[in-house]
Amino acid sequence: MKTLSVRGGYNVAVAGRPGSDVEVLPEPAVLYLPLCTRRFAFTELRVNDGQRVRPGDAIAVDPKNYGVPLLAPRAGTVRLNAASGHAVIEDPEPAADYARDPGPDEPRPEQGSGESCEKQRQLLALGAWQYFTDARTSRLPDPFATPQAIIVSTIQLEPFVSRGDVQLRDRLAEFVRGLKHIQSLLEHQPIHVVLPRVKSRLALDLRERLAGFPHVNIVSVPLRYPFDNPRLLARHLKLRPNPDQPVWAVNAAGVLAVDRSLTRQLPCIERLISLGGPGVREPRHLKAIPGYPIDMILAGRLNDGTVRVLNGGGLTGNALPPEQLGLDVECAGLTVLPEQAEREFLAFMRRGFDRLSYSKAFMSCVLPIALLHHTGLRGEPRPCVACGYCEEVCPAGIMPHLIHKYLYRDGLEEAEAARVDLCIGCGLCSFVCPSKIELCRQMLEAQQRIARELHAEEANP
């Protein structure tokens, strides 16, 4: 077992973290499948308006991402013009699981060493490949490329996305089968399975089950955000960036999807998502399907007052656009934050018992409780005060405050020399900044500008 020595990182003690219970949502009357997600644009339709589809039928594909499909979660009638940007499925039928789940000790189906490409096509067609990312770029990797390694993370540390231990509860046999399938796609490349540095029953059981696996390395990391980030893990594992030999990354839900696709030949049409944040009355994990109406998910579950709903976690999630009506196929959780619309009277005189801050300047630093997080800035953005907090928490080992000053005077070359390219976009620098500077956004935009303005000729020889 390899133990990674890491620096930086920070766990945000925010109220609203879901527990381990899972609620199965009832079947909706209508599904609203978004045709666009953070990574995918399903622009090539494969069905006609009014066509009847079955579970797992491809409604559309993303032609720029290896034809990754948007699958019908349930049988029903497709309406393409009922809601802009969505494929609507009316009168969906409850799913019928038409394949038997093998027992934990039964051998998996063998397909022969010459059929790995067929397995990859099956993963793509049944929706499992959507769970894979390129550890360096966060994009969908080429399913037919040869990776130098695979990183399998069993943990998800950002508040409030669905946790790995909840995904794996009572499903270790499926997870192990999924790892065997992933091994069958490789020749001798290593699989790095990331486990938390804890002595929980789940972690110990996983270590025992994986002890004899060939080419499987167990990697132990602290339960500190963002040490589940594939790009950061690849760097610590000394996996060098190589466009011709990428590093694939997949989480626990993805390994379970691989098992579902290759063991049971079933489409991956259900997701375990989280509903968390201070704006939720009872944070919890939910078993849902893509296209599930968001207003049905939120109905009766929110605290009073105006809220902002994020698609994703509390640090990297994006505000859910009002025109999005259903869950997209990449959603791992919905984070709900109260909107602070009014200014606080004489806020500068308060001791800060309710201040959520990395700084030790408030009384909240002595309170061992999760505090309320909201969208208010509590003041206006200010110039950088060189406090060094962003450098303390940065897991990439760069100095965001210094890079910010370079970028302020448009010094792209200086920012590049300060290794802005190492930023993984975890959002911690922005969170801890007492001046409320959007450091993370600046770092990511600088990476794009450097590639576009300084290295355009290298990208397009």
- What's the confidence (pLDDT) of residue 116? 62
> pTM for the complete prediction?
0.89
Q: What is the pLDDT of residue 12?
A: 84
- Per the CB < 8 A criterion, the answer to whether 15 and 373 are in contact is yes
With beta carbons less than 8 A apart as the criterion, state whether 184 and 215 touch: no
Amino acid found at 313: G
Is residue 236 within a helix (H) or strand (E), and if so which, with residue range?
helix 230-236
Q: Are the CB atoms for 192 and 237 separated by under 8 Å?
A: yes
- The length of the chain is 461
pLDDT at 353: 45
Beta strands across the sheet bearing 216-221: 2-3, 216-221, 191-196, 149-153, 247-251, 133-134
The set of residues, in sequence order, having a beta carbon less than 8 Å from that of 308 and lying 6+ positions away, is 279, 319, 336, 337, 338, 339, 375
pLDDT of residue 366: 53
> What is the structure's pLDDT at 312?
95
Q: Which amino acid is at 190?
A: P
The residue ranges of the chain whose pLDDT is under 50 are: 97-114, 346, 348-349, 353, 363, 369-372, 374, 461
The SS3 assignment for 217 reads strand
* Amino acid in position 438: E
**Pairing between strand 333-338 and 271-276?**
parallel
β-pairing verdict for 271-276 and 191-196: unpaired
The rounded distance, in Å, linking the Cα atoms of 193 and 421 is 26
Number of other residues whose CB lies within 10 A of the CB of residue 128: 28
Please provide the DSSP assignment of 341-376 as one string: -SPPTTGGGS--TT---SSTTSGGGG--SPBP--S-
Query: Does 160 sit behind a cis peptide bond, omega within 30 degrees of 0 on the bond before it?
Result: yes
pLDDT at 110: 41
Q: CB burial class (10 A; 0-12, 13-18, 19+) of residue 20? A: exposed
Predicted local confidence at residue 213, as pLDDT: 87
Query: What pLDDT shows up at residue 380?
Result: 63
Q: How many CB atoms lie within 10 A of CB 357?
A: 16
Half-sphere exposure of 146 (CA within 13 A, CB side): 5
CB–CB of 269/56 below 8 Å?
yes
Contact 384, 438 (CB under 8 A): no
